[in-house]
């Protein structure tokens, strides 16, 4: 204000106050140690434990639940539950973008990294021709194997009737020598 005691030439103080920007009134609030709600002056209950730890509760309900040792995370109306289940506080820093995994080539057993790169650099037609040739060679090998193993199969003979098996299909009737117990 000027030396004349007026605000911008206005004599009345009430009009001057309207012209000045309004400031928000700051009230010191505490947080409830159970629910994490704001506690305004003149409200709440303080509890001092034997180990001198001070807890400040918003109401008797929060105080009672704390003394019953019920975890605030288990109650849907507490801030702890909301934090655990990601409720509220939308877009705090945004979602982190997943980094795209970089492609990295390693040598495979039986092939060095240089061989793999050479194979990739080949034209697809050449690669297909080589694969086709490999398939034909494999088919030829299989045919030769079949031809050599096409000898007439010897029919299996019947089991000796001298050694008779019990009806259950178990061990021979003689029994084993290592048997311990009643005979």
pLDDT in tens, 82-113: 999 999 876 556 667 788 888 777 777 888 88
* Residue 76: predicted pLDDT: 96
Dihedral of alpha carbons 133, 136, 142, 146, sign: negative
Low-confidence ranges of the chain (pLDDT < 70): 1-20, 90-95, 150-166, 168-177, 179, 181, 183
DSSP state of 111: B
Residue 120 CA to residue 130 CA, distance in Å, equals: 13
Q: How many residues does the chain have?
A: 183
Q: Assess contact for 57 and 47: CB atoms under 8 A.
A: yes
Q: Give the CA dihedral 41, 44, 48, 52, nearest 10 degrees.
A: -40
* Residue 136: predicted pLDDT: 92
Residue 134 CA to residue 142 CA, distance in Å, equals: 12
Q: Which two tokens stand for residue 7?
A: 């605000």
């Amino acid at each position: 204000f000027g030396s004349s005691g007026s605000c911008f030439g206005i004599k009345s103080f009430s009009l001057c106050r309207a012209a000045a920007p309004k400031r928000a009134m700051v009230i010191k609030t505490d947080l409830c140690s159970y629910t994490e709600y704001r506690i305004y002056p003149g409200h709440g209950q303080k509890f001092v434990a034997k180990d001198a730890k001070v807890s400040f509760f918003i109401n008797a309900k929060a105080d009672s639940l704390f003394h019953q040792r019920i975890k605030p995370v288990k109650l849907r109306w507490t801030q702890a539950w909301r934090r655990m289940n990601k409720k509220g506080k939308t877009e705090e820093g945004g979602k982190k973008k997943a980094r795209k995994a970089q492609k990295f080539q390693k040598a495979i057993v039986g092939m060095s990294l240089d061989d793999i790169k050479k194979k990739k650099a080949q034209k697809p037609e050449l690669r297909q021709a080589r694969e086709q040739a490999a398939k034909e060679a494999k088919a030829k090998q299989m045919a030769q194997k079949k031809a050599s193993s096409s000898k007439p199969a010897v029919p299996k003979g019947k089991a000796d009737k001298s050694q008779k098996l019990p009806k259950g299909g178990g061990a021979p009737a003689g029994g084993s020598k290592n048997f311990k117990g009643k005979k």
